[in-house]
Copies of this chain bind each other. A is one copy, B any other.
Amino acid sequence: MERSKETLLDMYEKMYKIRLFEDNAVKLFNQGLVRGPMHVYTGEEAVAVGACSNLNNDDLITSTHRGHGHCIAKGGLVDKMAAELLAKGTGYCKGKGGSMHIADPDIGILGANGIVGAGLPIAAGSALSSKMRGTDQVTICFFGDGATNEGSFHEALNMAAIWDLPVVFVCENNLYGLTGPADEMLSVKDVASRAASYDIPGVIVDGNDVLDVYETVGEAVKRARNGGGPSLIEAKTYRIKGHFVGDPCVYRDEEEVEKWKKRCPIKNYKNYLIETAGFTSEELAEIEEKVENEVEAAVKFAKESPDPELEVVFEDVFSK
């Protein structure tokens, strides 16, 4: 697997950007500037970044209610994202979508999605489309452990498998649905073992290790691109924050959270970059600063952007 210096640093930048973006999103939420339920990706950054680092600009992803990380990993712009969270006219969706519906189809982001499991059939369809149009595009479909109990998971994987569609199903097993523990709600220990139902590869990766994710998803992407069909990859990870911002988290204990905090994917990756890959702290600090400026500017942009005009409410119901 090729691991260019550029890729390695880009992954660090993206992970760091996600973390910072989410910290700011929480801040904005707590300031009362974000509406509705917001779900942050803190602690799971390695999954989106490791996975999407295998994609080209015209490759595609489908995302979830917890979509900020996927969006940034696929190249989404934090200013438009922040503006969307603040419901501004300059946001990705003109302020009409919010956290759960951020999308940028121009760079293959087919949207966050408020309905658990709904992205899977859409991803199968986008892969079908690539195949029918004769491109070499691949679609990565993100979803959670909880989503694997939805019927749509099953239907989509079967369909993708029988048609050998170029799609990689990446399950973020963060141990919980909303509050339901995966080990009570799923009839299997490992989501990956559900691949057997579709006769496709099912692989477990350490979702807190960006390189493990990168390489394993990379194999699956290559396979898909070469006509080898879909794969199911289970990334074992953890959401450090509650399910939604404001979640009292009565269903889990602090100890567990603390344990996982120690396994911070960003800190660990930073150590790796410095200790094993030979980067300097300065190089990384430079990236961090760049990202900090970028996110800060994004928040500023969002705050200063105007609300959409009232007439926007009537736009976009229909095309043309």
Contact = CB atoms under 8 A, between A and B. Distances in A.
Interface of A: 149-155, 157-158, 161-162, 184-189, 193-194, 196-200
A150 B194 CA distance: 15
Nearest to A196: B196
A64 to B, nearest CB: 17
Nearest to A121: B151
Contacts of A162: 184-187
Nearest to A157: B187
Contacts of A197: 187-188, 193-194, 196-197
The SS class assigned to the A binding surface is: helix
A148 B158 CA distance: 10
Contact of A152 (B151, B153, B199): B151
Contact of A187 (B149, B153, B189, B199): B199
A196 B197 CA distance: 7
B187 A161 contact: yes
Contacts of A196: 188, 193-194, 196-197
Q: 6 nearest interchain CB pairs? A: A151-B151, A154-B154, A161-B187, A187-B198, A196-B196, A197-B197
A161 to B, nearest CB: 4
A194 B189 CA distance: 15
Nearest to A230: B187
Given A149-B155, A150-B151, A150-B155, A188 B198 contact: yes
A198 B153 CA distance: 14
Contacts of A185: 162
